[in-house]
Amino acid sequence: MFVIELGGDDDEFAAAEARAAAPDARVVAPGLAVADTVDRERFAGLAYAHRASGSVADTDASVESAVDALRDAPIDREGTVAVRARNVRNTTEVATQKAERALGGVLVDRGFEVDLDDPDHELRALFSGDECHLGWLAVESVRDYGDRKPTDRPFFQPGSMDPLLARAVCNLARVTPGDRVLDPMCGTGGVLIEAGLLGARPLGTDAQAKMTRGARENLAHFLDSFDVARADATSLPLRDDSVDAAVFDAPYGRQSKIETHDLSDLVGGALAEVRRVADRCVLVADRDWREEAEAAGWTVESRFERRVHRSLTRYVLVLA
């Protein structure tokens, strides 16, 4: 069993993404999920899951209960240790420094030497709500999204999706190394960058020549291999079933017309075309396009609402 530390403020969204690496991940407390198995390589590429730890014990959210649970738990490792305690989402009144000292004392009594700077093993003590989960740190996700901020890329346009969300929606689409991943409205290429960094083969189209040029410039800055072409998302120059997954950010309502298409016709037509070439898709938009997705032949596996600010909520549809 593993306990997973979730990021962001939507645990169900974070857990859904985490299932790319931990298929049975389920939320058990604010900011925490558990799973029977974790693919460590895939976990490193998650956006909204930060750490997974091999479970040692779970108990009530008090230092005393945590100490008792650790005393009773079998420990099958050697070397130096450190204890890191968290009051997850500030949902408890536990003093984390007190917890670290008390749990560290238990480990010292069991023959371990404490090394706070470079330990062989790190014990995570996660206090959340009414629960405490103890676990040995097994894997952390790579937190390098600040290196790919949209404003720092060679080509920038306002409204570009941030790399954290772009990575998350690629994981929701279950992008794996070697997959051919399509973004039929690729814009500045942010989704394709994250797909490529996950080991996929990115393929982007956009109706605007300016965007295809800019996307190529951005992709070349981060990736060695990709394909970008100018094309209408409602009439893709692709064979049936020729890509593994599609991920795209639909134009928002303020853009009432794109080229010659009404927005509804554009999104509905794009969903139909993507259904022709792929069997899984994640759509991000500023409105709920469920009816159009179902009309195009998709089944909505899950749906999330992510509030960006007072006037913008993003809807994320996972389609199969």
In this prediction, residue 311 carries a pLDDT of 81
Per-residue confidence band for 36, with pLDDT thresholds at 50, 70 and 90: very high
pLDDT, average across residues 169-175: 98
| Rounded Cα gap, residues 275 and 290, in angstroms | 14
Q: How far is CA 221 from CA 26, 155, 189, 199, 214, in A?
A: 37, 10, 11, 16, 11
Tokens 């790319």, residue located: 20
With bands split at pLDDT 50, 70 and 90, how would you rate the model's confidence at 260?
low
CA distance linking residue 232 with residue 205, whole number of Å: 8
**Per-residue pLDDT, 262:** 86
Q: pLDDT of 70-116, one tens digit each?
A: 999 999 899 999 999 999 999 999 999 999 999 999 999 999 999 99
Which sequence spans correspond to the domains of the chain? 2-140, 145-319
Greater confidence (159 vs 102) lies with 102
In this prediction, what percent of the chain has a pLDDT beyond 90?
A: 93
pLDDT band for 255, please (50, 70, 90 cuts).
very low
For the chain, the C-alpha Rg in angstroms (whole number) is 22
In this prediction, what percent of the chain has a pLDDT beyond 70? Answer: 97
Q: What is the pLDDT of residues 130-144, one digit of tens each?
A: 999 999 999 999 999
Among 126, 119, 109, 132, residue whose Cα is nearest residue 58: 132
User: For 183-208, how does the pLDDT look when each residue is reduced to its tens digit (9 = 90+)?
Assistant: 999 999 999 999 999 999 999 999 99
The reported pLDDT for the residue numbered 310 is 79
CATH 3.30.465.10 fits 2-140, yes or no: no
DSSP class per residue in the chain: -EEEEE-SS-HHHHHHHHTTTSTT-EEEETTEEEES---HHHHTT-SSEEEEEEEEEEEESSHHHHHHHHHHS-----SEEEEEEEEGGG-S---HHHHHHHHHHHHHHTTPEE-SSS-SEEEEEEEETTEEEEEEEEEE----GGGG-GGGSSS--TTPPPHHHHHHHHHHTT--TT-EEEETT-TTSHHHHHHHHTT-EEEEEES-HHHHHHHHHHHHHH-S--EEEE--TTS-S--TT--SEEEEEPPPTT--EETTEEHHHHHHHHHHHHHHH-S-EEEEESS--HHHHHHTT--EEEEEEEEEETTEEEEEEEE-
* CATH 3.90.1150.10, applies to 145-319: no
Q: 273-295 pLDDT, tens per residue? A: 999 999 999 999 999 999 999 99
